[in-house]
Amino acid sequence: MVTLAQRVGAAPAQLATLVACLALAAYAAFFLLGDPALLRMLVWFAAAAVVHDLVIFPLYAGADRLLTAVLPGPKVNYLRVPALGAGLALLMFWPGIVRQGEVTHLAATGLDQEPYLGRWLVLCAVLFGASAVVFGARVGLRRLRA
Amino acid sequence: MKFRSPLRGPWLTSVLGVALLAALPLVIVTGLLDYVAYGPGQSIPGDVGLLHLPAIDWPTRPSWLFRLTQGVHVGLGLVLVPVVLAKLWSVIPRLFAWPPVKSPAHALERATLLMLVGGILFEIVTGLMNIQYDYAFGFSFYTAHYIGAWVFIAGLVAHVVLKLPVARRALRTRSLRAELRVPTTAPEPVDDGLVATDPAPPTMSRRGALALVGGGALFVATITAGQTLGGPLRDLAVLLPRGREDFPINRTAAAAAIEPTATGAAWRLALGDRSFSRVDLLRLPQHTARLPIACVEGWSTVQDWTGVRLRDLAALAGVPSPGSAFVESLDAGPFGRATLSAGQVLDPDALLALQVNGADLSPDHGYPARVIVPALPGVHCTKWVRSITFRDA
């Protein structure tokens, strides 16, 4: 016999939690009714998830597959780790690096966004450089021991 | 799409999940505290029904309170970005699971997952853009970030209630301490979706993956903490606007359209029906206090402020025990006025500052006079003050 819980797919307590949490979100969203920017907010909310899942993830996963195909084995990490650091910094500090919001940045701080791109490039050089040094040191040590 | 990483599995996902579960409540509570810190009637967005912490008189002590709460909110939020991305990486096969909906309850769960994932990414994106002054989204940051947080909270509660038992079981399958001691690469036992059935050869141990995520968090901390902590660390915040100056400006005089003529010799401070020139104010007893000023964007700085105590001004205005004070600026913008509570007016270090670090305020820092109150959100430390109205208790 199929129980109600089986048909619904959850125990009553779980179902109650889901309904209560959806109700809380609906209550929060209620305060946006009448906000002329509501549609924009919804678009950005959905886009945040979609862009991550369907653009950023495939991009970095694809790049990683290429990288591991060219450099199989753990050696790939000497490129992978600094690349992830550089990518993370680019993603998080994108507005400054691509100079998006120049006017509000200037009004808020009295400074322009000119330095960020160069600083990010220096950061990339530091990350890849440090990785190269670690790689070189490890290879050197192994040779010394051999 | 085929997911082949030999690392994915319920244990790794649970470790990342527990790390987030330990840290996210701190980000959430400090964010909600910030809403309260703005003071009654001044929080943004205005009407949020029951969705706020109990209104309290935001204290002035310790003077670094707002620096701490907002520093933790923004700083920890930033540090968690790589952990969130790793967590999403670890569960991505589930997104493409087929069939997408297995039962009515499963449909509801997927709706709460959209609240969870969309919510945290929305909070990260809007928060990151706000601290970099990029408003390309075209809506009110305050409203969107606050309501978005509650949608995320709802998603998080549902996820924790549903998944905590699963995570507990998964965490019992391996010892974290043992994993950290010895590198392992063998996949976890095949489950119903996370573990690859056809894993690629390993390139990184489980321990290596955890070190990578932790290292990512440490890396972000290194290049962001300086905007809050100041000192030599500030120079390391190379990609943040508030890493560039030890005493950052928030809103320039030009942006606030402050005319030099309005702040020159003709400037007067109105206190009820009395008015004071800057020279008059400099003749009053001066008090110096070393106080932090901290912004909702997480950055802060500590400076030596000198000026007239607000409580002295209240006495001069004939309201020695005020219930509140209403401060107005020459700045016609949204933060050109603020209401201070009685506690904020009467604190011995609460000042109408005329000087900072022994020199007159610069135009961008609020010349001829600005408010500085311990633990008051920076945006309420009104610059270019033109009047203060002390109200009876």
User: What are B262-315's pLDDT values in tens digits?
Assistant: 999 999 999 999 999 999 999 999 999 999 999 999 999 999 999 999 999 999
Chain A residue nearest residue B133, CA to CA: A105
User: Chain A, 69-128: which have a CB under 8 Å from a chain B CB?
Assistant: 72-74, 76-77, 80-81, 84-85, 88-89, 92-93, 95-97, 100-101, 104-111, 115-116, 119-120, 122-123
- Count of positions (residues) in chain A: 146
Distances (CA, A) of B349 to B26, B137, B299: 29, 39, 21
Query: Is B150 in Cβ contact with A48 (below 8 Å)?
Result: no
Query: Is B111 in Cβ contact with A22 (below 8 Å)?
Result: yes
pTM check: above 0.95: yes
Q: What is the pLDDT of residue B97?
A: 87
Give the percent of chain B with pLDDT over 70: 100
Q: What is the pLDDT of residue B363?
A: 98
β-strand partners of B293: B301
Task: For residue B135, list chain A residues with Cβ-Cβ distance below 8 A.
Answer: 101, 104
Task: For residue A121, list chain B residues with Cβ-Cβ distance below 8 A.
Answer: none
Question: Backbone phi, then psi, for B274, in 5-degree steps?
Answer: -100, 155
Query: Best residue in A100, A109, A117 to probe B by mutation, most B CBs within 10 Å?
Result: A109
Confidence bin at B192 (pLDDT 50/70/90): confident
pLDDT, tens digit (0-9, with 9 covering 90-100), for A75-92 = 999 999 999 999 999 999
Whether B249 contacts B295, CB under 8 Å: no
Query: Is A21 in Cβ contact with B162 (below 8 Å)?
Result: no
Q: What is the pLDDT of residue B1?
A: 63
Q: Token digits for B275? A: 């008015």
Rounded to an integer, the average pLDDT of A15-29 is 97
Can you tell me which residue has the tokens 């997927």? B110
Mean pLDDT over the full length of chain B? 97
Other residues' Cβ atoms within 10 Å of the Cβ of residue A65: 12
Q: Which residues contact A134 (CB under 8 A, 6 or more apart)?
A: A78
SS3 string, chain A, reads: CCCHHHHHCCCHHHHHHHHHHHHHHHHHHHCCCCCCCHHHHHHHHHHHHHHHHHHHHHHHHHHHHHHHHHCCCHHHHHHHHHHHHHHHHHHHCHHHHCCCCHHHHHHHHCCCCCHHHHHHHHHHHHHHHHHHHHHHHHHHHHHHHC
Query: Is A77 in Cβ contact with B51 (below 8 Å)?
Result: no
Whether B119 contacts B158, CB under 8 Å: no
Using only C-alpha atoms, chain B has a radius of gyration, in whole angstroms, of: 26
Question: Backbone phi, then psi, for B74, in 5-degree steps?
Answer: -75, -45
Q: How far is A142 from chain B (nearest CA, A)?
A: 20
- CA-closest candidate to residue B368, choices B214, B259, B215, B206: B259
Q: Helical H runs in chain B? A: 10-37, 65-79, 81-95, 104-131, 141-172, 176-181, 206-222, 226-229, 260-263, 278-283, 310-316, 342-346
Task: Write the DSSP symbol of residue B381.
Answer: S
